[in-house]
Amino acid sequence: MPRSSLAGIIPLLALLAANGASAHTLLDHADPRVGDKVATPPHQVTLFFTQKLEPAFSSVTVTNAAGQRIDSAKPRISGNQMSVSLRPGGTGTYYVKFHVLSTDTHTTDGNFTFQVGQ
């Protein structure tokens, strides 16, 4: 490919990437908070996003320090919020992984951890 055409493509890709990032939904905050320490195992995790979610195509899993899934597998989604109930998972690091489709038809994947009882 001639050098001149490559030079034209790279700024275009950078522009598309920047627009795509700003258009997708992002995790705004969570309860328990991302990276926080809580004294007792929470009964649920709630994720708050920057856009409304499509319930049929959004999911979240939570695993405890032993790597066991402790979420109910049935998230409750309303607007920009997604909550899932948890079984008691003991102490240690909890790992939250999500995959959501926002109403702009774009998907977002992400994960975070929080600590219990340490």
Q: Is 24 in the site for Cu ion (CB under 5 A)?
A: yes
Q: Is 19 in the site for Cu ion (CB under 5 A)?
A: no
CA 12 to chain centre: 28
Identified binder of Cu ion from the candidate list 29, 37, 87, 106, rule CB under 5 A: 106
Identified binder of Cu ion from the candidate list 9, 23, 26, 73, rule CB under 5 A: 23
Per CB under 5 A, contacts with Cu ion among 27-86 are none
Size of the site for Cu ion (CB under 5 A): 4
Q: From residue 13, how far is each of 21, 22, 45, 118 by CA, in Å?
A: 12, 14, 36, 45
User: How far is residue 66's CA from residue 62's CA, in Å, rounded to a whole number?
Assistant: 11
Cβ atoms of 63 and 28 closer than 8 Å? no
Residue 62 C-beta: closest distance to Cu ion, Å: 25
**In this chain, which residue has its C-beta nearest to Cu ion?**
106
Identified binder of Cu ion from the candidate list 104, 107, 111, 117, rule CB under 5 A: 104
Cβ burial 81-97 (10 Å sphere, 16+ → b, else e):
bbbbbbeebeeeebbbe
Residues of this chain that interact with Cu ion (CB under 5 A) are: 23-24, 104, 106
